[in-house]
Structure 1
Amino acid sequence: MIKIESAKKTFGSLTVLDHIDLTVEPGEVVSILGSSGSGKSTLIRCINGLEKLNGGAISVDGFDVSRPKELAEARKRSGTVFQLFNLYPHMTALQNLTLAPIEVLKRPKAQAEAEARALLESVGLGDRADFYPAQLSGGQRQRVGICRALAVNPRYLLLDEVTSALDPEMTAEVLRILAKLAEEGTTMVFVTHEVEFARTISSRIVFLDKGRLVVDLPTERFFAADGGMANPRVAQFLSNMRKD
């Protein structure tokens, strides 16, 4: 499991995460909602060790991400998909996918390439293996990003606003892929502003506000009038999202 215990993160005098407690079990899809600045993306960055906590602890399958050697093991168990793709521009789609399996997991090159091609084929990009990121559309690049995260066979997939840089048509492309992964039982922690999509695929929804976890409920309860909607801040947020 991913276990977050009293996690605190500050930037100077600003508290971005304020004693967050959260557990994600294998097989769950947990969506994290909240306004800009609520701490959603920072939480993802702390889970994968890109940001260090100022207090509390985070572990992935029992490995403490604050310890460098354990962080390396934790990263083998989780794959991250970023908002702005973060693909290596000088590498083809295939090379982006095979880098970690070959260099980190020490898989034979032929095996890594065969698995990477199969992943690209599964998301409709089998004919784009030798294309560079600049030759791909935004939706295609994000699909390559998802495949790159899956190439290490992670137990957990961390997704940080993966559709926010895409137009509606490209967003639909990526959301279809994520919905398929959810149906297949992939464990995901999904930071998103796509409320209705989160409602469709999530087993639980977490709501952050000003760095605090204010609601953590099964999806159906989150949207119920006597559940998450009973919290004034959640009700206001959802109302504003519907107006948008």
Structure 2
Amino acid sequence: MIQIDNVEKRFGNATILNGVSLHIRRGDVVSILGASGSGKSTLIRCINGLEKLNGGDIRIGGLTVTNANELAEIRKNVATVFQHFNLYPHLKVIDNITLAPVEVLGIPKAQARQKAQELLDLVGLADKQDAYPAQLSGGQKQRVGICRALAMDPSCLLLDEVTSALDPEMTSEVLDVLADLASNTGTTLIFVTHEIAFARKISNRIVFLDEGRVRVDMDKDQFFSEQGGKQDPRIQRFLDKMDSK
């Protein structure tokens, strides 16, 4: 579904992505791991066209991210949830969710509203549809952000450190929602995360970035096995450090 071929991204003299290639199948649940500065979030931003490539190519469903006309079509099928909620403060929760389906996809407002209500029920926020973002906790805001992305009925969902700004209790709320999503839909999910236990629980595949390169691309069980990813000293150090936090 997603073909990433020899992608390079530089900021000034700093090379952030250095020849990254990945082919992600439809329905994959992929966790992207790596130390801070390894290029994880930049890769997500390249996939959805928020960063221009310095080299290589990304194709999603046969469409090219670097083609402006095709990128507009890609964004109808690929949704992103960021670590910051970016909800419109002047809009009620349900209006935050229905805005893009109505304005971008042309879905009738009543239909978009019904879908939004179903999504809010899915994430345990059915009673918050008429609340404003300022009336929500951080975990609730992030769940609304997930609903807003799902309201576009995406074939692929990109999630960039969606729990990094949350306290442990709120993190648990959001991870439970995402685990259910991974189990119960055919949506392709790509996570950037430091939540190792979560990655182990929901992923079928682990990609480990190191200094802008793909160091490992493995089946989840193989990655966490003593005979697989843990044989790599760099990965073992990373996992030990994460376990000690």
Matching residue of 1:20: 20
Q: Does 1:161 align with 2:167?
A: no
Shift in Å, 1:187: 1.4
Equivalence map 1:133-144=2 (5 Å): 133-144=133-144
Matched, 1:197 2:198: yes
TM-score, length-normalised on structure 1? 0.98
State the secondary structure of the residue aligned to 1:26.
coil
Within 1, Cα distance between the matches of 2:172 and 2:53? 34
Q: Measure, in 1, the Cα distance between the counterparts of 2:199 and 2:229.
A: 14
1:53 matches 2:53: yes
- The 8 Å contact of residues 16 and 42 in structure 2, kept in 1 or not, is answered as yes
Distance 2:230 2:165 in 1: 28
> In structure 2, what is the Cα distance between the partners aligned to 1:50 and 1:146?
19
Q: 1:208 aligns to what?
A: 209
User: Which residue does 1:89 correspond to in 2?
Assistant: 89
Looking at structure 1, the residues matched to 163 and 171 of structure 2 have their Cα atoms a distance apart, in angstroms, of 5
Q: Give unpaired runs (5+ residues) of structure 2.
A: none
CA deviation string 1:139-165 (max 9, x = no partner): 000000000000010000100000010
Per-residue deviation at 1:38? Answer: 0.5
Q: Matches of 1:95 and 1:57 in 2, distance apart?
A: 36
Alignment length (residue pairs): 244
Work out whether residues 215 and 228 of structure 1, in 8 Å CA contact, stay in contact via their aligned partners in 2.
yes
Between the aligned partners of 1:61 and 1:87, the Cα distance in structure 2 is 28
SS at match of 1:175: helix
Aligned partner of 2:230 in structure 1 is 229
Residue 243 of structure 1 is matched in structure 2 by: 244
Aligned AA for 2:165? A
Deviation at 1:186, TM superposition (A): 2.6
Residue 70 of structure 1 aligns with which residue? 70
Contact 2:205–2:219 (CA under 8 A) maintained in structure 1: yes
CA distance in 2, matches of 1:126, 1:76: 25
| Corresponding position: 1:31 with 2:39 | no
Q: 1:117, 1:126 within 8 Å by CA — same for their partners in 2?
A: yes
Report SS of the residue matched to 2:206. strand
Identify the residue that residue 218 of structure 1 maps to in structure 2: 219
Structure 2 distance, partners of 1:29, 1:60, is 16
TM-score by length of 2: 0.98
Cα pair 1:9 1:15 within 8 Å, conserved: yes
Distance 2:113 2:182 in 1: 25
Give 1:172's aligned residue. Answer: 172
In the alignment, the residues of structure 2 paired with residue 32 and residue 227 of structure 1 have an alpha-carbon distance, to the nearest angstrom, of 17
Q: CA RMSD in A?
A: 0.8
Task: Give unmatched runs, 5+ long, in structure 1.
Answer: none
Deviation at 1:85, TM superposition (A): 1.0
Query: Retained in 1: the 8 A contact 2:83–2:161?
Result: yes
Tell me the alpha carbon deviations over residues 182-226 of structure 1, each in whole angstroms, 9 at most, x when there is no partner. 111331000000001100100000000111110000001101122
Counterpart secondary structure, 2:75: helix
Do 1:60 and 1:77's aligned partners in 2 also have CA atoms closer than 8 Å?
no
Cα distance in 1 between the residues matched to 2:12 and 2:20: 18
Q: Do the aligned residues in 1 keep the contact of 2:154 with 2:187 (CA within 8 Å)?
A: no
Query: Take 1:133 and 1:33, find their aligned partners in 2: how far apart are those partners?
Result: 30
Taking the aligned partners of 1:100 and 1:71, their CA distance within structure 2 comes to 16
Alpha-carbon distance between aligned partners in 1 of 2:17 and 2:130, rounded to the nearest angstrom: 41
